[in-house]
Amino acid sequence: MRVIKKIFFTLIIVISLMISIFVWFAKSNNKDYGDNNKIMKSNRSNTKKALVIYQPSRFKVTDKIAEKIAGGIKDEGYDVTLNYPGSHLSNDISQYSIVVFGSPVYIGQISSTLTDYMKRIKNYEDKKVLIFATGSQLNNGEVDKIGENLSTIKATEKINFKNGNKDEDKAYEIGKKIAGE
């Protein structure tokens, strides 16, 4: 009887711990982390501008992928601004010709901080929009959900990154591709 009790309580503790960890990750995906403005400047003159907005992830996979995409865009002659989504951002994206939005996926959920920002923007016309998600078990549902928050247009490209940091080269090439098109 004592052994059964021990097993029962251990199970309860393990399950509670797992639920707490899941909730913690899910909450972090909806948090506004504030301003984290970075600019990657092209060394070409007369540059066009691109904006890369991504929700940071716990182990920085999403951050690395966003930076690599930005690097690819920069190497095609754009000045690229990177930042986290949140209330610090302007709704006016008129100066950018490429806009990138990215989110990690935890328990099937994308970042509401990101989608709230996307909904605030009204002037998507004439822009190339790249949407990406990071996660280990993605289908296309996650990027489609992010794309639903573009008011009047459809995304130019939607990409899943399922292999963590191993996808960095792919991210760089995607950046180059969207900027070169």
* CA distance to 60, 74, 162, per residue, from 176 (Å): 22, 8, 20
**Which residue, 115 or 134, has its beta carbon nearer to ligand FMN?**
134
Q: Is 105 in the site for ligand FMN (CB under 6 A)?
A: yes
**What's the CA gap between 3 and 149, in Å, rounded?**
53
Give residues 126-145 in contact with ligand FMN (rule: CB under 6 A). Answer: 134-138
Q: How many other CB atoms sit within 10 Å of the CB of residue 112?
A: 17
Least Å distance, CB 113 to ligand FMN, is 15
Least Å distance, CB 99 to ligand FMN, is 21
Q: Is 121 in the site for ligand FMN (CB under 6 A)?
A: no
Least Å distance, CB 141 to ligand FMN, is 10
**What's the CA gap between 174 and 39, in Å, rounded?**
19
Give residues 3-62 in contact with ligand FMN (rule: CB under 6 A). Answer: 21-22, 25, 57-62
Instruction: Evaluate whether 173 touches 72 at the Cβ level (below 8 Å).
Output: yes
Least Å distance, CB 76 to ligand FMN, is 25
The CB-side HSE value for 106 (13 A sphere, CA atoms) comes to 21
Return residues touching ligand FMN (CB under 6 A). Answer: 21-22, 25, 57-62, 104-108, 134-138, 164
